[in-house]
Structure 1
Amino acid sequence: MIDSDMGCLVSHTSLAGNLYQIYLLVLSSYCLPDPLTMQTGTEEALRELQSATCFSFQSIQKHEIALLNKISTLTPRRSWTTKSQTSHCVHWQIGVSTLSQHYYFSKLVGSVLQHALEMQVFADKPDGDIDSKDPTPSRLSLRATFRLAAFYPEEFSFALSSKKRGAVHQSRDLEREYENISSNMSRMVQIGPSALTHPRIY
């Protein structure tokens, strides 16, 4: 239901209905904000995933877990391409706009699934299919959050605190004794002597 006064979509359905609405918001997202909500579909979906409507339940059904997993796949997967962990690969979902694939969907879905795990204390038959772990290595997730936060409004950037940011790297143009020696030697070999010495002829 559309609430034109509040500028939002109002839903009185179950958890599955809310999750289905979130999934549709993401898939129909556009680069321009919606005239009603003044937000893009991705931003509205991120807001809904953090709202109380996604945490107001005591038990979760399998079809609701399936919807959460679909929303989680909208976060591009990142994996290391080398054993030394110097480079990584980003796996985008084919057929879905890159504007719909936000780096924090998997984290928010993990929070909902973690809440479902905690609520299983009150369940007669705990569901063993709930997995709240993020398949992307934590280091890559943190790096993606830090680097991509600048492209989103502050409310949806989920920027890291200063304590979790990357280390300060020393600039290469600063003086380094061993590097200066090797670079100077290479320069001398390339340029050669500054004066040409002619051999003496007797």
Structure 2
Amino acid sequence: MTYVFNVWIPFLPPGINQQYGRSKIGRVYLKPGARVWKSHAAIVVGARAGLIDWKDCDKPFSIKIYVVGSKSDADAYIKTVIDTVCTKLGFDDKRIASQSSEKCKLQFVRDMYCSEEIERIKKEKENRIAMGPEGDDYFKEYITSVYDKNMEVFLQKMNDTKTIDGIKQGVYVKLFPAEEI
């Protein structure tokens, strides 16, 4: 099974200076704003993760982070995003073999998000039809109509706006198997 995960987190993490603090005895701690961001982002990641058990895959991953609408450096968010995604998916972030981040325009991420979401809906439709009773044409017609309607609604929503779900800033994360070295 190929493990690929894409998620649009519709809000930016706090800036690097607002993420971590140092206590009087020198310990590093996560500041309250960063803690809130991580808990909200974990809800988005969890909703997108589905039923895949990410702990079962023992291979290393690569992660690519696209930052939209930020004035900070693109790499300012890497650690917070990786920690949040890996924790929510249930594996240690030391399995991330390579990472990269880049700032980009919303249109670039929106186009990528649209094409990947269309592919996801198509695959989900194929999987649902394959799971149904063989030869049951009513089941196939029903599933086809449901997923075609989902696709139609998704495309209409994306055509009506130049944003992603009405949001103009955020973080788009792609997690995929690392290439063997």
Which category of TM-score, normalised to the shorter sequence, fits these structures? Answer: under 0.3
Q: In terms of Rg, which structure is larger? A: 1
Which of structures 1 and 2 has the larger relative contact order (alpha carbons within 8 angstroms, sep 6+)? 2
Structure with greater proportional helix content: 2
TM-score normalized by structure 1? Answer: 0.21
Structure with greater proportional strand content: 2
TM-score normalized by structure 2? Answer: 0.22
